[in-house]
């Protein structure tokens, strides 16, 4: 998901720094860390205890790097059996909880014509970091002092690696029928070309996918959600070296060969701007590289070429599998501060830099003209062969949209804009659980309209949107389930989407919420929660929040079921 770092400047008249999008990360602004619910002083002890329990559940990881038995839990294998019994009961609304109505613009025809799902990422939920898996750059990064708020890590996370059967049973009871999950690259292949395929990791994901399908859930698979094998970072600098293109193609080939019969929807890479801005420029995400601006664009260039290489592998060797392949990127919507032409152009420049930078080459084979003009030779060039591979390399665009900023012209900035979360001292929306995240529902409808107009109504998915809530990680008792702010956030954004889809006849077949569960939120650790299901990080107990019941009633159970 997206994470921006510092609080946005308060007034356009003041000298302000540009706040680029980061998601749970993009942008030039640093993300505001989100961390675990356990108090920081106790976090290490809680995590250590949970890790011990996880290691007891999985098969003798210390005996071999990739033992044959992955040690997952079969249905009913919960430590005390209570959660499994609870999930076998009919889904019931907790006493005293009420569910708001559906967004008014979302007519029954619109809702039933779309699929409504949830999104997650491997490192944020799986845990079992050293079981049947090689090390990733995030395994290394979280051990660096001061990098993660509260000192949390994804080593245990929410133990989805061992708990997935019960997790999918709960999803089935909620009516979820589409799950965008991610493979962990180092759980499939510990390195690059020539590395041995990890058969235990392959077996784990087959069981996970089969469990999804058995519960009526269609898998949408993301190949890369930020967990690069550490060995590739050590060997040649990861995404800053063009060798990663060949290694990613090898990894993608492995996924197509081993899982292509079960996966009919692929996302190659999630949020290149977050990978590159935060991982290889300002160093606040793994692998923690701090470098000049040229590294940012070199990284983005290689990400695009890796995507194109993976799609070429698919179309050359596996086209008969009949899957769709897309790409997921994020942006902070740019709303012009005024109707002046220069402010409108400034907003367009921001969209070019943070969205067109990644998406334009997938349609035209070229970076946006405004970027080429501003950066000159600093922006890498595509060869004619690369342009041909990039152009038309997606079947759909995936968009992660969380918030918006006011944007105005400023000729002193390299791309000619400044931005702020405030206009005349008034926030662009209510602030969510992170300093960068404001509730700006118009952003969802506007970005869908923009993409439809610019890219000729190309098939567009919302692959992530959601919010944290200020102070949620301090809630106790029944309060932890009453996330009405999140429900209202979702309602406003979905209503905005439905308005644009209805008005402009857009091709938007899928919308995914971030996220199903509370989980590890990158640099924010566990201090911000985005889940519609509450997770007690000490006991790992799951309980559906109001927002989860709301989604279940109005969308999961009403939306279009996908053919698998």
pLDDT score of 500 more than 90:
yes
- The answer to whether position 363 is within a domain reads yes
Separation of CA 178 from chain center? 15
Provide the β-strand partners of residue 118.
179, 513
Question: Residue 67: is the preceding peptide bond cis (ω within 30°)?
Answer: no
Q: Is 459 an annotated catalytic residue?
A: no
| Tokens at 111, concatenated | 């809702």
- The answer to whether position 61 is within a domain reads yes
What DSSP string describes 285-322?
STT--B--HHHHHHHHHHHHHHHHHHHHHIIIIIGGG-
Q: Is 335 an annotated catalytic residue?
A: no
Secondary structure letter of residue 22 according to DSSP: -
∠230-231-232 over CA atoms, to 5°?
Answer: 90
- The answer to whether position 286 is within a domain reads yes
pLDDT score of 28 more than 80:
no
pLDDT digits (tens, 9 = 90+) for 29-47: 333 333 333 333 334 444 5
Question: What was the pLDDT predicted at 564?
Answer: 64
- The answer to whether position 22 is within a domain reads no
Q: Which residues of 439-474 are buried (b: 16+ CB within 10 A; e: fewer)?
A: bbbbbbbbbbbbbbeebeebbbbbbbbbbbbbebbe
Catalytic member of 354, 464, 521, 527 = 464
Question: What was the pLDDT predicted at 20?
Answer: 36
- The answer to whether position 24 is within a domain reads no
Task: Count CB atoms within 10 A of the CB of residue 338.
Answer: 13
Question: What was the pLDDT predicted at 8?
Answer: 37
Do 4 and 21 contact (CB within 8 A), yes or no? Answer: yes
Q: What is the 3-state secondary structure (H, E, C) of 467-493?
A: CCCCCHHHCCHHHHHCCHHHHHHHHHH
Of residues 95 and 11, more confidently modeled? 95
**Considering just the CA atoms, what is the radius of gyration of the chain in Å?**
22
Q: Please give the torsion angle defined by the CA atoms of residues 362, 367, 369 and 375, in that order, rounded to the nearest 10 degrees.
A: 170
pLDDT digits (tens, 9 = 90+) for 155-187: 999 999 999 999 999 999 999 999 999 999 999
Residue 471, sorted as left (phi over 0), alpha (psi -120 to 50) or beta, turns out to be left
Catalytic member of 47, 211, 271, 472 = 271
Separation of CA 235 from chain center? 27
- The answer to whether position 27 is within a domain reads no
- Total number of domains constituting the chain: 1
Secondary structure letter of residue 378 according to DSSP: G
pLDDT band at 412 (very low <50, low <70, confident <90, very high): confident
Question: What was the pLDDT predicted at 455?
Answer: 98
| CATH classification of the domain holding 374 | 3.20.20.80
Residue 355, sorted as left (phi over 0), alpha (psi -120 to 50) or beta, turns out to be alpha
| Tokens at 486, concatenated | 């999140």
Cα separation, 21 vs 331, in Å, equals: 6
pLDDT digits (tens, 9 = 90+) for 243-259: 999 999 999 999 999 99
- The answer to whether position 401 is within a domain reads yes
Do 517 and 533 contact (CB within 8 A), yes or no? Answer: yes
pLDDT score of 473 more than 70:
yes
pLDDT digits (tens, 9 = 90+) for 302-346: 999 999 999 999 999 999 999 999 999 999 999 999 999 999 999
Full domain range(s) for residue 283: 40-90+97-556
Do 115 and 509 contact (CB within 8 A), yes or no? Answer: yes
- The answer to whether position 33 is within a domain reads no
């Amino acid at each position: 998901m997206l994470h921006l770092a510092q609080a946005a400047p308060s007034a356009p008249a003041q000298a302000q720094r540009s706040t680029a999008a980061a998601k749970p990360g993009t942008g030039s602004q640093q993300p505001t860390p989100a961390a675990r619910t356990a108090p920081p002083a106790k976090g290490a002890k809680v995590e250590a205890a949970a890790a011990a329990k996880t290691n007891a559940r999985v098969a003798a990881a210390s005996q071999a790097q990739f033992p044959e038995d992955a040690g997952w839990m079969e249905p009913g294998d919960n430590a005390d059996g209570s959660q499994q019994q609870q999930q076998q009961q009919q889904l019931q609304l907790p006493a005293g909880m009420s569910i708001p109505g559906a967004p008014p613009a979302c007519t029954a025809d619109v809702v039933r014509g779309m699929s409504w799902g949830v999104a997650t990422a491997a490192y944020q939920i799986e845990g079992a970091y050293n079981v049947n898996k090689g090390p990733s750059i995030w395994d290394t990064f979280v051990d660096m002092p001061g990098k993660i708020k509260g000192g949390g890590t994804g080593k245990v996370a929410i133990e989805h690696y061992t708990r997935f059967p019960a997790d999918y049973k709960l999803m089935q009871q909620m009516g979820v029928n589409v799950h965008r999950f991610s493979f962990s690259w180092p759980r499939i292949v510990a390195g690059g070309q020539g590395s041995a395929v990890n058969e235990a990791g392959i077996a784990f994901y087959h069981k996970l996918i089969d469990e999804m399908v058995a519960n009526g859930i269609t898998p949408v698979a993301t190949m890369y959600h930020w967990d690069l094998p550490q060995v590739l970072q050590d060997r040649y600098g990861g995404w800053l070296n063009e060798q990663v293109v060949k290694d990613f193609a090898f990894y993608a080939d492995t996924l197509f060969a081993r899982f292509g019969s079960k996966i009919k929807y692929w996302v190659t890479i999630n949020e290149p701007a977050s990978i590159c801005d935060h991982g290889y420029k300002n160093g606040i995400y793994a692998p923690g590289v701090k470098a000049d601006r040229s590294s940012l664009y070199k990284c983005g260039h290689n990400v695009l070429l890796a995507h194109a290489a993976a799609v070429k592998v698919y179309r050359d060797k596996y086209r008969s599998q009949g899957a769709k392949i897309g790409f997921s990127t994020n942006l902070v919507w740019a709303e012009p501060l005024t109707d002046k032409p220069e402010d409108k152009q400034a907003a367009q420049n921001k969209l070019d830099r943070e969205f067109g930078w990644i998406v334009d080459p997938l349609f035209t084979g070229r970076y946006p003209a405004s970027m080429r003009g501003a950066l000159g030779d600093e922006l890498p060039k595509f060869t004619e062969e690369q342009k041909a591979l990039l152009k038309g390399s997606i079947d759909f665009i995936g968009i992660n949209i969380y918030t918006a900023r006011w944007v105005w012209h400023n000729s002193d900035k390299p791309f000619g804009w400044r931005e702020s979360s405030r206009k005349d001292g008034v926030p662009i929306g209510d602030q969510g659980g992170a300093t960068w995240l404001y509730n700006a529902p118009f952003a969802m409808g506007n970005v869908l309209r923009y993409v439809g107009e610019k890219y000729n109504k190309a098939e567009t998915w919302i692959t992530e949107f959601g919010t944290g809530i200020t102070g949620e990680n301090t809630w106790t008792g029944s309060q932890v389930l009453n996330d009405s702010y999140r429900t209202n956030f979702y309602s406003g954004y979905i209503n905005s989407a439905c308005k644009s889809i209805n008005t402009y006849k857009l091709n938007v077949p899928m919308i995914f919420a971030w996220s199903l569960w509370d989980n590890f939120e990158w640099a924010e650790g566990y201090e911000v929660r985005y889940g519609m299901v509450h997770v007690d990080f000490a006991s790992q107990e799951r309980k559906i929040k109001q927002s989860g019941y709301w989604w279940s009633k109005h969308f999961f159970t009403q939306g279009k079921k996908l053919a698998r």
